[in-house]
Structure 1
Amino acid sequence: MPVLLQKILKKIKSDSTVVELRGLSGSSKALVLSMLSPKSEQQEEKVIPLVVVCESFDVAEVLLNDIYYFLGTKGVHFFPFWDVLPYDNFSPHKGLVAQRFQTLDALLKEKVRILITTPNGLMQRFLPRKTFQKNTILLTKDFVGSPEIIQKQLLESGYNLVDVVEDQGEFSTHGIILDVFPLNREKPVRMKFSKKMELLSLKPFDVQTQRTAETELTSLEILPGNEILFNLETISFARQTLPSFRKECTAEVLKRLKESLRKSESFPGIESLSPLFYPKLETLFDYLPTEYLLIVDEEKNVEQCAEHFYQEVFMEYEMSCQQNKLTLSPESLFLTHRELATRLNKSARVILNSKTHIDKTERVVHELKFVNNKSLRQGFEKTKATSAAGHMVQLLQNWQKSGIPVLLSAKNQTHADHFQQLLEDLGVESTVAGEQLIPKTCPWLSWLENGSVEGLTKTIPILSGKVSAGFRKLDAEGKTRFILLTEEEVFGEKTRSRRLQRTQVHQVTGSLDDLRDGDYVVHLDYGIGSYHGLHKITAGGSNNEFMLLIYAREEKVYVPVGKFHLVQKYISADGNSPKLSKLGEKSWKKTRKKVARAVEDIAVELAEIYAERKARKGFAFSADDAEMQKFELRFEFEETPDQLEVISSVKADMESEMPMDRLICGDVGFGKTEIAMRGAFKAVQQEKQVAILVPTTILAQQHFQTFNQRFEDTPFIIEVISRFRTDTEQNNILKRLHEGKIDIIIGTHRLLSTDVKFRDLGLLVVDEEQRFGVKHKEKIKRFRANVDVLTLSATPIPRTLHMSLMGLRDLSLVNTPPADRRAVRTRLLPVNDYIIQEAVSREVRRGGQIFVVHNRVESIYEYGNYLKSILPNIRIAIGHGQMRE
């Protein structure tokens, strides 16, 4: 640890001095916190954790990821506030509850090195420590007893009993098998018992496939499953407390609450009634050890955010009281912002400020002199991306001559390899160091104190990891002593993606777990029916499970689970409900014969196309070069794992002599267009033309703008042909296209006209093929024989998808959501002025916008006037697609 920080820590421990650290920019806050933190929670001396208070969830999340970069994840925790307010009638997201409970558990076990939280996280009151510990279940292989014992414990600890375990906080039982998804595990665990009620095994299993892992656990800790626990103790206390709230809500509300208590049933938003269930709530301060180092990040912002949050809670409270709901006071649920300020002023020992505020005489102030890389980034932007790499090389060479240590940071190993290749092509010696230079003890941080390390300036290390921004460390004279430069600062900002579990391609067809009561299914022998769950039936002296399928005239068929392969979930292109088949009639057999003939026709058609594709060689594109790597590094978002895999597959197809025919399936906004643009760049770079075929004029215009932005700093010409262009403009575009003066052409079915001629078409991208008519599809088919074809779709028709699943067309799935894609919460409510006002006001206070969908163009202006009358201070605009008569 640098000498200065050693002195600061010693000073803090020796007396009550408050130290203010100024001059922190970029990710340097995380760097300093990493150096201040205890090196390991396993060392003999008592660990004193750092508790860092950030102004908001977003700021805390950035700091958390930066600390992961410098220090690793072990012992670093985040305690977030809920994603809902207490009077919302919504329960917090289970993932957030899991993260909160994992942090509380680590605090109680004294395994925290750094804890990051926010003002509202510190202000909130929740279940006390003793309740948390009492309802934490610990199982070992020595456990002897029935699954019913564990089931009772899980119910009392807030877990929900379900048929099939899918999410955290759930459990299910099937005879001698008990499945549970603890809040503190990434995968659910399956317990298997013997007939003698001995616990035979504890194995994690996959939610999608339901297959257990080979690795067996020796013990299992199960944290409480909810913030409100329904057990004898809490229900008894709630029954005693409830009568005192008679005057604060209607008799109907009280009756509904009593019924929930009687049945031990939870309901959305019950967490806002926590004072009913616990005699005394506690805050995060109560879970902290006796000794900790409290650090406030940007104290003015923290104070303002705490005050703003409490004001918002109070406004929600007043509005909720008007609805005759059982509404508990803000003071019973939170510390006030003034109470929080008092505690922070009393306990805070280190203040981190990027800017200089009014000096407080009781503080010791240190100027650390870290500056951000904004000026460097501006220099790269001025040179544009085509010469940004050259500008970077010039800077690196100057820094090397001056003996200044430089670290380059790439977001992952793939980009680090690209970075190194790019530097090598430009004559700069570098090495991909991976995470070698950022071990959990951070020894290289001594560079900040001791200057350059021998040999470091000869070869520039490229680190692999995600960090929000780089920085430069200056000395007392203002000279640069150390530089951390990220690839985003060279090539532009990238939006971070969250870590999410991926869905495998083989899971696309689903399983028994995908069926829900009322789903339509197709039985190979009986036709279309509706699924109504699993039923245990005793037959022939044995008890077995059967699927109940109901057909027309309420006729029932029980299908053994072992014959599940005969049943498939019904899929419709238009989403309409099908007509149920009638048992005993010949109509289903006729349908099967009709389908069989259609399949034969498709098979003949495919055989002809693929025979022609095999016989005629396509163009084999060459492998990626430095220009392709530059293009990829300029992508403004971070690629998801699925995107990287599909991009690799597309490149391999294009580098093959056999023409590509690949279908890419993925939800809207999951990054299919970027995959197409990578393929397009590869094609035009090798003097081939690219056609982008879309179903609508609006989509053509949207793609035209997107491609122009993405290819802004390249020499390639992009055009769009649609009804927005005059006849003269269209003729000019077609002439230039035929002459090879246009590299990428985007258009609707107009591109399929006979007068459209290419000089050398190399790639056809078809967006949403299922929205083209039969005649257009026939024209598209003729390209597949000798041109690479890439089809993008969010909702492929069953025929297209089935061809891909059979292997007749290559299939790629893009299942990972992009960065910051949040789960959507949907509520069905009666029309109510208050609800609309409350929802709109909250979104406006957040700085957001509201999109209202109305179901009639004829009355849309009338509805707009209604909104203006109840929202007089909100700017409202109206838009629709109806054309003038």
Structure 2
Amino acid sequence: MRDVLIDPLMNLDSYKKLNESIVKKEFPIMIHGLIEENILHLAYALNRHLDRQIIVITAEETNARKLAEDIRAMSSHADVEYFPKKEMIFYDIEALSNQTTHERLRILYRLVNNEKIILTLSAQSLFDIIIKREVFENTTITLDLNSTVELNSLQNKLVQMGYERVNLVEGKGQFSIRGGIVDVYSPNYSNPLRIELFDDEIDSIRYFDVLSQRTINNLEKIQIIPSKEIILSKSQKKNIAENLKKDLSKYTSKSKNLRISEIALNKFNPIIESLNENNDLANLDLILPYIDENIKGNLADYFDLDSIVLIDEIKSIEEKIKVNKDISNSNLLELFETGEVLQTHLNLSCDYSKFVKVLKDKNIITKSFFLKPDDDFPPKAIYQISAKQASFYANNFNFFVEDLKRYMYRGYKTLIFSGTIERANRLKTQLNDASINVTLIGDENNLIQSSQVFIIPRSLEKGFEYENAKFTLISDKDILGNNKRAKKARKKKTKSSDAISLGDLNEGDYVVHENHGIGQYLGIVQLDVDGVKKDYLSIAYRGKDKLYLPIEQMNMIQKYVGNDANLPKVNSLDSIEWVKKRNKTKKAIEEMAKDLVELYAKRENIEGYAFSPDTPWQKEFEDSFPYEETEGQLRAIEEIKADMEKKRPMDRLLCGDVGYGKTEVALRAAFKAVMDGKQVAILVPTTILAQQHYNTAIERFSDFPVKIGILSRFSSTKTIQNTLSMIRKGSVDIVIGTHRLLSKDVVFKDLGLLIIDEEQRFGVKHKEALKKLKENVDCLTLSATPIPRTLNMSLIGIRDMSIIDEPPEERYPVQTYVSELNKSLIREAILKEVSRGGQVYYVYNRVESIDKMAYELEQLVPEASFSVAHGQMTERQLENVMIDFINNEVDVLVCTTIIETGMDIQNVNTIIIHDADKFGLSQLYQLRGRVGRTNRLAYAYLMYQRDKVLSEVAQKRLKAIKDFTEFGAGFKIAMRDLEIRGAGNLLGLSQHGHIENIGYDLYIKYLQEAVQRVRGVNVIEKIDTTVDLKLDAYISSFYIEEEEQRIEIYRKISSVENKEDIEELTDELIDRFGDIPKPVLNLMTISYIRYLASKNNIISIQQIDRGIKVNFVNANNISLDIISFLTDKYKNNILFSLTKDANITIRLKNDILNATLELIEIIDMLNNNQKIAEEVII
């Protein structure tokens, strides 16, 4: 095995002796002399060299996570996992996010299979109560193509394993059954599984895609693992309930405080009742100490027999465990005194002796810098592997070159980590120019010789040196002062679409019919007309009006999407009111489209400045960005640069959520402008944002000679006057400011680029000043509100837009809890965040009582400091509060939804939302998005009033919020609401009103048509063809049980436009639901006939006695070619009517459906040939 990272280390005598001791099983072993940075290198070396499982235990949770990230970044060969610690919560939580649970279960599965991974964890994780290894193994379901499955038995077992039965599998821990098809998403797989049965035999097993629900590839064997960490049988639940009841009785009989007793009774009685009824609990932490010992396990049980447990700084671990025990005991005692836990819960706290006990029989290596053997793990062998930190050059390249020459002279093997291939190539050129011969290697499969220097495009956090081995590893951070991670392979992103469709249509939702207006959807009804069964959408209009819309005409309606705060006004069927409103909106859209096209054309003809191609400094600046860019960022950067290099002035909108990396994109554009000697103005709506942008710019441009100025209220008069003078002289390159930048005394010497952040937040007066400033300079506008993809597509060619629609890779999911308002939980949440140096948002949306709320919180958590922020404060008051908060002078900000947009304070990683049921889903989504902006674990607590009966809407809202990952319906609804808001912001206030009037989808349809018309494209009104054939055409509930999925498939059927669509849909139906019944096949063919007929100006197709009648818009639609061809084909069986009611009547003997399809296809073919002939003549 060749590995350039570890070969020199393996040649050390001390490492060879260490290896001998491991082979002889002389454990415990002690290693001293290694520095903190070496633990990752040693773990990797042992794993690669010995091909064993390596368990690395650290004192701090953050160290364990970072260690895994660093090992992964260091080597492409590293197979490393981080086992996250369980967050214990002793409150009555109704819902909590389970990403961490599923991640832990996935890793347990790998350990059970004895995979040779490196596992990093904190010592505290060893105290977590989890499913016993034997129970995990015995519960895991193994299936292959030879297995037989009894469906009811499988369903019951999945439920017992913690899986939730749903209609559509969208997330881990879910399963669905449709006839003989079982979909299940086991935590150990990156895609869900589809098992198709033939009777009780497995016909096929395959992966499928969550978004499309289509098969990815076939499998021969699968293992379905538990979906929760504790599995309880009915009898075990009863035992727990019995012990809880005894404990509760003791507690209430001893308690002298009736109120506290009542809290305990109200909390634990429902839990006891739920357990007795064999129900699952949302929060198992409350019953952990009552679980039988024979089903409880710990992580150490899962370690491989020959695994090596590498303990990093044992004394630090011992101290940390003692501190955690004291904190835990104190917290549990406080909870005990307030009725939140009972006597048995007090036993949950763990001490150091348990840590020693669970690891006593393991293959232990303790690593310590000092030579001080541990009494609990007395070493049988002690080895010194000395290492020291590499020098830190902080961008002093000459110093770095001198050191390299010294290393080469002394025969050192030197390995430089460049982070990226781009940095590697540049560094190689620079070193070659400095007369140092270096070799660029693509991976670790190389051998390095004495006095050689290798560069590898991998990442290392900090470099280190083994003097005895004459081996040094230097990181890009050591050289440049920052490091950049090697690019990870990103998961292929499914093509984005707008967030919501008719597949999300539920009874009671509002829909828009283009001809009849807004009505309320009542569901699918099946009607039997003359012995023929068909499905119809039932839609209620004002009064008692009802419309039964044939299901194949489903594309005539859209789900109404407007402002979720206002319900739309339902129309009467065929009302004049709707026609007037629709026509008024159409006219307004036409005018807006005309204005936009004219504005775009005018801008195209203005001569601006064409920026030069990228300079080497541009490349260097971009490469100094310490994070991996997202695909959206890279795409946006390319689009903006291409615009800047054109002669006409750029006017581009850049959309993306806060924290998605818009600022970095803007700064790269700014740098490009500065490289051409142009000035850049960055205009922001608030002083706080100006300061944030200024701080970011100062940091990013620190290594380059770029002069940055700021104009805001925080600048002194003298500073402002000095900055204004420098702007006039051109000695300031980039100036950042609020609307102060628009003042008449701000005169640029040579402004080349204007960057506007959140333009919609500026007033009318400021927008007028902006217009003048924008006239012949490049302009980039940033928006934090997402824009619907359909709107973006509609405006192609009249509005240049770039969209960043994916968050940075490093982010961790926000741990979300839904709970009744609980003071103890609030206190614990605040203290937990503050104790780790973080800050908290407490969202309270009632201005009149917000000060009282802040006072109550101060009394509840006197250890923390509080401030209040709301929209009724003066701008100056609000800015002062926010600056104090940004500067970390305040722990908790009690605020209204004022933090919903714009703020990006990375130190805030806990948000508590008071009365969460009163917020819209989009608000909850955006509020929760204020935390979790770094690679630190973040928490969101959504609370509602205790004992309050929630409305059905509020209950649905809170249920949706717990699924707020990208697969959740809540996410889609929230995103759609935000997109509509974004559409309103982009198109202006007046257009927002029109969107409200007719709904978003119909608005977009009219906008697309208007843009085409203004550009001179002939827009043909689509004919609403009816097809009336006496055939059963519907999807039965036996085939697709859930109405939501039936609507989704109906929608797809109504959208077919060619035979490829039918084939695609046929494959999907067979894949997802099994063999297709005849009425569904009929429906698909009828839908295709309807599409072709509409395209060929056919109003209706009717089945008549012994044939069909095809009615056209007028006689001009029946060409001589059609008459000639059809007469030859059908002879005496055809009759043409070329009067006002133009039609063709044909006598048909049998198979009415295929005969009709053949006829319409012939008409379509003849019309297409005619069009081609006409185009050739032209």
Structure 1 residue 63 and structure 2 residue 80: aligned?
no
**Structure 1 residue 277: Cα displacement:** 5.7
Structure 1 unaligned spans of 5+: 42-47
Structure 1 residue 204 and structure 2 residue 207: aligned?
yes
Matches within 5 A, 1:206-225: 206-213=209-216, 215-225=217-227
CA contact (8 A) 1:30 1:67 kept: yes
The letter for the 2-side match of 1:33 is A
Question: Compared with structure 1, are the counterparts of its residues 696 and 549 closer, same or farther at alpha carbon in structure 2 (3 Å cutoff)?
Answer: farther
TM-score normalised by the chain length of structure 2: 0.64
CA contact (8 A) 2:475 2:483 kept: no
Structure 1 residue 409 and structure 2 residue 426: aligned?
no
Matches within 5 A, 1:213-612: 213=216, 215-229=217-231, 234-249=233-248, 253=267, 255-261=269-275, 264-274=278-288, 278=292, 280=294, 281-325=296-340, 327=342, 329=344, 336-344=351-359, 347=362, 349-357=364-372, 364-373=381-390, 376-377=391-392, 379-380=393-394, 388-417=396-425, 419-420=427-428, 430-434=438-442, 436-437=443-444, 439=445, 444=447, 452-453=449-450, 457=452, 460-475=453-468, 481-493=470-482, 506-512=496-502, 524-525=514-515, 527=517, 537=526, 576-584=565-573, 585-612=575-602
Question: Compared with structure 1, are the counterparts of its residues 272 and 641 closer, same or farther at alpha carbon in structure 2 (3 Å cutoff)?
Answer: farther
Matches within 5 A, 1:19-30: 19-25=29-35, 27-30=37-40
Structure 1 residue 34 and structure 2 residue 33: aligned?
no
RMSD: 4.1
The letter for the 2-side match of 1:242 is A
Cα distance between partner residues in 1 of 2:569 and 2:57: 60
Bigger Cα displacement from structure 2, 749-758 vs 204-213 = 749-758
Structure 1 residue 703 and structure 2 residue 702: aligned?
no
**Structure 1 residue 8: Cα displacement:** 1.4
Deviations 1:193-221 (A, max 9, x none): 56x565444333333343432x3222222
CA contact (8 A) 2:26 2:380 kept: no
CA contact (8 A) 1:695 1:771 kept: yes
Aligned partner of residue 802 in structure 2, secondary structure: strand
Structure 1 residue 95 and structure 2 residue 95: aligned?
no
Structure 2 partner of 1:44: none
CA contact (8 A) 2:655 2:804 kept: yes
Q: Compare CA radii of gyration and give the structure with the larger one.
A: 2
Cα distance between partner residues in 1 of 2:710 and 2:611: 25
Deviations 1:589-615 (A, max 9, x none): 333222222222222222223223433
CA contact (8 A) 1:691 1:761 kept: yes
**Structure 1 residue 433: Cα displacement:** 2.1
Structure 2 partner of 1:770: 760
The letter for the 2-side match of 1:20 is M
Structure 2 partner of 1:815: 806
**Structure 1 residue 302: Cα displacement:** 1.4
CA contact (8 A) 1:188 1:204 kept: yes
Matches within 5 A, 1:87-126: 89=93, 93-126=97-130
Question: Compared with structure 1, are the counterparts of its residues 338 and 526 closer, same or farther at alpha carbon in structure 2 (3 Å cutoff)?
Answer: farther
**Structure 1 residue 684: Cα displacement:** 0.5
Size of the aligned set, in residue pairs, is 843
Aligned partner of residue 154 in structure 1, secondary structure: helix
The letter for the 1-side match of 2:752 is G
1:138 counterpart (121, 124, 142): 142
Aligned partner of residue 820 in structure 2, secondary structure: coil
CA contact (8 A) 1:537 1:545 kept: yes
Aligned partner of residue 873 in structure 2, secondary structure: coil
Aligned partner of residue 132 in structure 1, secondary structure: helix
**Structure 1 residue 37: Cα displacement:** 2.6
**Structure 1 residue 24: Cα displacement:** 2.0
Structure 2 partner of 1:81: 85
Cα distance between partner residues in 1 of 2:727 and 2:243: 80
Deviations 1:389-410 (A, max 9, x none): 4543444344344443222213
**Structure 1 residue 659: Cα displacement:** 4.0
Cα distance between partner residues in 2 of 1:619 and 1:767: 22
Cα distance between partner residues in 1 of 2:766 and 2:711: 17
Deviations 1:603-633 (A, max 9, x none): 2222223223433454333333332233234
Question: Compared with structure 1, are the counterparts of its residues 509 and 173 closer, same or farther at alpha carbon in structure 2 (3 Å cutoff)?
Answer: same
CA contact (8 A) 1:495 1:819 kept: no
Cα distance between partner residues in 1 of 2:835 and 2:583: 61
**Structure 1 residue 568: Cα displacement:** 5.2
Cα distance between partner residues in 2 of 1:622 and 1:310: 63
Of all paired residues, the percent bearing the same amino acid is 31
TM-score normalised by the chain length of structure 1: 0.83
Cα distance between partner residues in 1 of 2:741 and 2:240: 72
CA contact (8 A) 2:525 2:538 kept: no
Matches within 5 A, 1:597-676: 597-616=587-606, 618-676=608-666
Cα distance between partner residues in 2 of 1:132 and 1:713: 54
Cα distance between partner residues in 2 of 1:766 and 1:173: 52
Question: Compared with structure 1, are the counterparts of its residues 425 and 11 closer, same or farther at alpha carbon in structure 2 (3 Å cutoff)?
Answer: closer
**Structure 1 residue 871: Cα displacement:** 3.6
CA contact (8 A) 1:770 1:796 kept: no
Question: Compared with structure 1, are the counterparts of its residues 556 and 747 closer, same or farther at alpha carbon in structure 2 (3 Å cutoff)?
Answer: farther
The letter for the 1-side match of 2:386 is K
**Structure 1 residue 296: Cα displacement:** 1.1
**Structure 1 residue 639: Cα displacement:** 3.4
Structure 2 partner of 1:45: none
Cα distance between partner residues in 2 of 1:391 and 1:528: 73
Deviations 1:676-706 (A, max 9, x none): 1111011101112212122233323332333
Question: Compared with structure 1, are the counterparts of its residues 731 and 128 closer, same or farther at alpha carbon in structure 2 (3 Å cutoff)?
Answer: closer
CA contact (8 A) 1:248 1:326 kept: no
Aligned partner of residue 779 in structure 2, secondary structure: strand
CA contact (8 A) 1:157 1:229 kept: yes
Question: Compared with structure 1, are the counterparts of its residues 492 and 219 closer, same or farther at alpha carbon in structure 2 (3 Å cutoff)?
Answer: same
The letter for the 1-side match of 2:68 is L
Cα distance between partner residues in 1 of 2:193 and 2:187: 11
The letter for the 1-side match of 2:480 is F
CA contact (8 A) 2:129 2:297 kept: yes
Aligned partner of residue 101 in structure 2, secondary structure: helix
Cα distance between partner residues in 2 of 1:364 and 1:857: 67
Structure 2 unaligned spans of 5+: 1-9, 249-263, 878-1178
Cα distance between partner residues in 2 of 1:462 and 1:558: 71
1:152 counterpart (127, 144, 156): 156
CA contact (8 A) 2:657 2:786 kept: no
**Structure 1 residue 673: Cα displacement:** 0.8
The letter for the 1-side match of 2:610 is A
The letter for the 2-side match of 1:465 is R
Deviations 1:831-880 (A, max 9, x none): x5434433333334444344445556665555444444444444455666
The letter for the 1-side match of 2:155 is Q
Cα distance between partner residues in 1 of 2:784 and 2:560: 18
